[in-house]
C-alpha cells in the first residue's frame, strides 16, 4: 500500500524545523495583517510599527522554511537561509526599538539612537563571525535542524536576543498598567505583548544555541503558543469591535 508519510516531503531532512517555522510564519503573517488593518483604520503608529515587527518575523520564518524545503538535504543552502533569517530577526529588534512606547521611557528616549547603533553593530559582528567561521547546520533527533553555530556567534546572538526580547516585554509591562490605560481591551493587549517578550527571551536563546531535542522542542512550543494566544486575543477584539459597530448602525 502506498505510504504517504514515507514518500513525501515528510522525509526531507530538517522537515520538522521547516514545518514548525511554517506554522510560526502563518501566525506572524496573521498578526501582521491584524496590526496593519488597525493602523489603516485608526492611524495608530504603534500598530504600524508592530505590523512591521511581525512582518520581519514572517520573513525570518519564510527564509528558514524555504531554504530547507526548496533545497532538501543541502546544508550549505540551509545555513545561508539561517543567515538571512538572522538579518530579519535583527530588523525585528530594530522595530521594537522604534515603537512610540520605547520613547516614553526616559532612559530609552535619551539613548535610543545609541542603543540601535550598538545593537545592530554587535548583531552584525556576531553574524559576520558566524559566516567567516561557519559550521554547517545538521539534522538530528526528531528531524530537527540544529544551527550548530560557533560558541562566540551562537552565545553572542543568544544574549542579544535575550536582551531585546526582555526589553520588549519590559516596555509593555511598564506602560500597560490598568490605571494608565483605563481600558480593559488595551490593558489585556499590552499584557499579552509583555508576556510575549518574556517568553521570547526564553525561547529565542534556547533555539539559537540549543543542541538537544528537548531544547528545540521547548523553543517551538513556547513560540507557537505565544503567537497563537496573541493572534487569538487580537482577532477576538477585532471581531468584537466590528460587531459592535455593525449593531450600532
DSSP state of 102: G
The per-residue pLDDT for 170 is: 82
Sequence-ordered list of residues with C-beta below 8 angstroms from that of 77, at least 6 positions apart, any chain: 67, 70, 71
Q: How far apart (Å, rounded) are the C-alpha atoms in residues 30 and 227?
A: 10
Residue whose cell numbers read 502506498: 2
Q: How far apart (Å, rounded) are the C-alpha atoms in residues 145 and 166?
A: 26
Sequence-ordered list of residues with C-beta below 8 angstroms from that of 214, at least 6 positions apart, any chain: none
The per-residue pLDDT for 61 is: 95
SS3 content of the chain, % helix, strand, coil (to 5): 85, 0, 15
- Are the C-beta atoms of residues 108 and 100 closer than 8 Å to each other? no
Angle (nearest 5°) at CA 139 between 137 and 144: 105
Instruction: For residue 232, give the C-alpha cell.
Output: 487569538
12-241 CATH fold = Rhopdopsin 7-helix transmembrane proteins (1.20.1070)
Q: How far apart (Å, rounded) are the C-alpha atoms in residues 186 and 154?
A: 36
How many residues are given for the chain? 249
The per-residue pLDDT for 247 is: 42
> What is the mean pLDDT for each group of 10 consecutive residues in the chain (249 residues)?
52 88 95 89 81 93 94 89 90 77 67 80 88 86 90 92 88 64 74 90 92 92 93 82 50
Q: How far apart (Å, rounded) are the C-alpha atoms in residues 193 and 188?
A: 9
The per-residue pLDDT for 246 is: 46
Amino acid at each position: 500500500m502506498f505510504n504517504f508519510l514515507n514518500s513525501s516531503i515528510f522525509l526531507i531532512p530538517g522537515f520538522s524545523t521547516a514545518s514548525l517555522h511554517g506554522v510560526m510564519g502563518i501566525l506572524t503573517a496573521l498578526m501582521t495583517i491584524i496590526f496593519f488593518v488597525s493602523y489603516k483604520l485608526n492611524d495608530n503608529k504603534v500598530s504600524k510599527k508592530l505590523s512591521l515587527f511581525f512582518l520581519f518575523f514572517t520573513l525570518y520564518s519564510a527564509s528558514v522554511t524555504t531554504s530547507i524545503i526548496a533545497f532538501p538535504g543541502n546544508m550549505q543552502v540551509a545555513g545561508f537561509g539561517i543567515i538571512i533569517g538572522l538579518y530579519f530577526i535583527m530588523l525585528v529588534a530594530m522595530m521594537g526599538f522604534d515603537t512610540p512606547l520605547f520613547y516614553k521611557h526616559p532612559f530609552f528616549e535619551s539613548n535610543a539612537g545609541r542603543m540601535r547603533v550598538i545593537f545592530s553593530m554587535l548583531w552584525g559582528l556576531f553574524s559576520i563571525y558566524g559566516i567567516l567561521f561557519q559550521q554547517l547546520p545538521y539534522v538530528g533527533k526528531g528531524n530537527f535542524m540544529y544551527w550548530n553555530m560557533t560558541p562566540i556567534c551562537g552565545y553572542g546572538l543568544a544574549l542579544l536576543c535575550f536582551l531585546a526580547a526582555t526589553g520588549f516585554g519590559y516596555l509593555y509591562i511598564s506602560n500597560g498598567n490598568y490605571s494608565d490605560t483605563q481600558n480593559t481591551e488595551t490593558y489585556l493587549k499590552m499584557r499579552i505583548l509583555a508576556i510575549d517578550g518574556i517568553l521570547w527571551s526564553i525561547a529565542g536563546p534556547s533555539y539559537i544555541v540549543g543542541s538537544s531535542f528537548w531544547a528545540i522542542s521547548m523553543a517551538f512550543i513556547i513560540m507557537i503558543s505565544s503567537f497563537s494566544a496573541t493572534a487569538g486575543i487580537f482577532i477576538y477584539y477585532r471581531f468584537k469591535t466590528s460587531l459592535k459597530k455593525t449593531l450600532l448602525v
